[in-house]
């Protein structure tokens, strides 16, 4: 019995497919299948039922899998702690990041802290919409991603954890008729042309949810907060943005006006998505701990 065999069991239990498990572990299918079978022979029990269509855990497999998880997680923790003590956490890390202004999460400060702690880890940042980044995490194209909350969670190989949330606030051009009021309603906003992010972006999920059952017209779709602000400033429409972001921009720009949305619970929620703990690299674990420290999260 060896650790790699246990990792293969975990991957196969998650994927329920030799092909997908082999892809996740970056090995050929025959090698993974052979190692799992050798482990079963050594244990004297079948862990998986194999058919032409799928793979499923046997009762023995269901019983032993939690222990396998503990062993793999324990070894990973030992490896991480030992490398951290030696100061030798190294490797490559790919981080997916939806557009998130520094008012909400200061990515540059986070990366600076991470680099100071783990200078031997090379980091690649990938940007994109939340849906795209979740797919990338499922396909192991990114190690970890920061995404919006209302995204598909279909993959059983991923974990999602809430990081933070904040209210959305309406951003209008100063002098707009609605600025006469202390707040605006969803119905009033729905009558105006909207500037929003494209479908698949986390913030678009949130605004679509807020307008569920109410027809609105998205006149412009853009991919950056600065573009949203610029379009509002040019009186091309209205927008909803996280309050911290909107207030920072409005404080420096008197042509913008902000109003809360009355009678609606609109929030931008931000989640961390990663593979399951047993599939994470040491560098990925190090980044998650650094992110938690940055946010003051006790995890």
Q: What is the pLDDT of residues 2-38, one digit of tens each?
A: 999 999 998 899 888 998 888 888 899 999 999 999 9
Helix axes 18-25, 3-15, angle to 10 degrees: 130
Q: Backbone phi, then psi, for 77, in 5-degree steps?
A: -65, -40
Average pLDDT score over residue span 139-151: 82
- What is the full DSSP assignment across 227-283? HHHHHHHTTS-BEEEEHHHHHHHHHT-TTEEEE-EET---EEEEEEEEE-GGG--HH
Question: Higher pLDDT residue, 151 or 137?
Answer: 137
Mean pLDDT over the full length of the chain: 88
For domain 3-85, give its CATH number from 1.10.3720.10, 1.10.1370.30, 3.40.109.10, 1.10.10.10. Answer: 1.10.10.10
| Nearest by Cα to 107 from 270, 241, 281 | 270
Q: Helix, strand, or coil here: 185?
A: strand
Given a cut of 80, whether residue 144 has pLDDT beyond it is yes
Predicted local distance difference test score (pLDDT) of residue 107 = 92
Cα distance from N-terminal residue to C-terminal residue, the chain: 32
Average pLDDT score over residue span 146-171: 82
Give per-residue pLDDT as tens, 230-253: 999 999 999 999 998 899 999 989
Given a cut of 90, whether residue 200 has pLDDT beyond it is no
Average pLDDT score over residue span 221-229: 93
Given a cut of 60, whether residue 298 has pLDDT beyond it is no
273: confidence class by pLDDT, cuts 50, 70, 90: very high
d(CA 196, CA 184): 18
Integer angstrom CA distances of residue 195 from 209, 212, 214, 215, 233? 16, 17, 16, 15, 11
Question: Higher pLDDT residue, 155 or 279?
Answer: 279
Predicted local distance difference test score (pLDDT) of residue 152 = 62
Query: Do 165-268 and 88-163+269-296 fall under one CATH topology?
Result: yes
Question: Per CATH, which fold does 165-268 belong to?
Answer: D-Maltodextrin-Binding Protein; domain 2 (3.40.190)
Domain residue spans of the chain: 3-85, 88-163+269-296, 165-268
Chain centroid to Cα 165, Å, comes to 14
Q: Which CATH architecture has domain 88-163+269-296?
A: 3-Layer(aba) Sandwich (3.40)
What is the sign of the dihedral through the CA atoms of 165, 166, 168 and 173? negative
């Amino acid at each position: 019995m060896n650790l790699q065999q246990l990792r293969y069991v975990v991957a196969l239990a998650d994927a329920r497919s030799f092909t997908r498990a082999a892809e996740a572990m970056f090995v050929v299918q025959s090698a993974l299948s052979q190692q799992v079978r050798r482990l079963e022979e050594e244990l004297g029990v079948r862990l998986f039922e194999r058919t032409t269509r799928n793979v499923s855990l046997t009762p023995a497999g269901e019983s032993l899998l939690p222990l396998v998880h503990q062993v793999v997680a324990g070894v990973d923790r030992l490896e991480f702690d030992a490398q951290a003590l030696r100061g030798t956490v190294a490797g490559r890390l790919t981080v997916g990041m939806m557009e998130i202004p520094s008012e909400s999460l200061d990515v540059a400060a986070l990366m600076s802290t991470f680099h100071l702690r783990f200078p031997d880890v090379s980091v690649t940042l990938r940007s994109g919409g939340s849906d795209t980044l979740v797919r990338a995490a499922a396909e192991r194209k990114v190690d970890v991603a920061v995404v919006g909350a209302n995204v598909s969670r279909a993959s059983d190989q991923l974990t999602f954890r809430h990081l933070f949330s904040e209210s959305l606030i309406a951003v209008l051009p100063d002098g707009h008729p609605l600025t006469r009021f202390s707040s605006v309603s969803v119905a009033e906003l729905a009558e105006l042309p909207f500037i929003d992010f494209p479908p698949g972006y986390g913030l678009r999920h949130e605004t679509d949810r807020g307008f569920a059952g109410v027809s609105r017209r998205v006149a412009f779709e853009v991919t950056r907060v600065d573009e949203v602000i610029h379009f509002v400033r040019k009186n091309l429409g209205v927008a909803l943005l996280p309050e911290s972001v909107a207030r920072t921009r409005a404080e420096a720009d008197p042509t913008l006006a902000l109003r809360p949305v009355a009678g609606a619970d609109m929030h931008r929620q931000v989640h961390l998505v990663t593979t399951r703990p047993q599939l994470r690299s040491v560098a990925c674990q190090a980044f998650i701990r650094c992110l938690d420290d940055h946010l003051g999260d006790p995890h």
